[in-house]
Structures are given as structure tokens and as C-alpha cells.
Amino acid sequence: MRLVDDWVRFWLGRARMTGNPYADFPSAPPGIAEWEELLIRFELGPRIAATALEEIPSERWSHAGGEGGWSPREHLAHLAASEAELEDGLCSLQCGEPLGGRAPEPRPGLEPGGYLDEYTRLRGRNFGAVQRRGVEVWAWAAPHHEWGTVTVYQLLSAAVRHDGHHIRRIREAC
């Protein structure tokens, strides 16, 4: 539980939210230690989400937190869809092609565990795509039609912050 709290607090408190999800982050990490810290936090996202889900009785998985709020199931569906978008973004960054649009709609009808599995599978693939390349990946960048050039460090930092937001909302559903 403390790991979940510390992880969410760190990434939500690290940067202010603006219209541009990448503006709050530097284009590159100050050094290898910061890059490795980001990769660890990036890899931990699905495990932290699984821990948060374990704290919620299964009968509340589809219960929205409040009016207009999302249920834990909807948050997990969104995380899975966002991870698919991130995979496309990493491919764009690697090739220097413009970043695409929004996350696709989540696959309908899965139970929370199914969405969690999909999120975990995609995150593992995305982690592998950047982790095994060392610091050469720092050079990955691509233009975004609205927010200018986006780097891999900014993209992953925003993804980790996004994870933290949804994991916090899942935990609030208790």
C-alpha cells in the first residue's frame, strides 16, 4: 500500500498539469540515474494498478466513483487503450514521424482483469522497446501538430503521470 501511495504521490506531484501533457518535462533526463528511475516507474505501472485493484471488492469494479466518474473497470480499459496509443507513439518517435492522435476506444466487454492483462502486456512490450536500447533512445523525437517536438523522455514521463492519475482514481473507488 505504501508503495502505491508513494508512486502516485511522486508522479502526480512532480509536475503541474497543463494543456500540453509534455511541457512539464525536460526534453531529456539530466543523467542516466533519472532515466533509469523513469524506466523503473514506467515498468511498475501495471503492478501498481494490480495492487490498487486488489484493494477493491470485485462487486465494485464496475461502480463509478461519483456522478460522471469512471469505474475501476473503465479506468483500466482506458489505461489499456492508452498503452496501445503509447506503442504507436514510440514507433513514431523512433522513426521521427509525426505523433498521431488519441487512444483508440478500449476493446468492449472485458472484465477488469482482462483490461489489466492487456495493459500489462502492452506495457511490457513498450518497456522492452526502450529499455534494451540504452541511452541511444534519448535521441528519439517527433513532431506533434499541437505541441511541437516531443521526446521519448517527455512521452514516458507523461505516461507515468497519466498512470498515476488513473491509479489514484481506481483507489478512490474503494
pTM for the whole thing?
A: 0.84
Structural domain count, the chain: 1
pLDDT at 172 over 90: no
Please report the pLDDT score of residue 2 as a whole number: 53
At 89-130, the pLDDT tens digits run 999 999 999 997 665 666 667 788 889 999 999 999 999 999
Domain span at 125: 2-172
Residues 6+ apart with CB under 8 A from 140: 90, 93, 94, 96, 151, 152
Only one residue has cell 502526480, namely: 12
The domain that holds 57 is classified in CATH as: 1.20.120.450
Whole-number mean pLDDT of the chain? 85
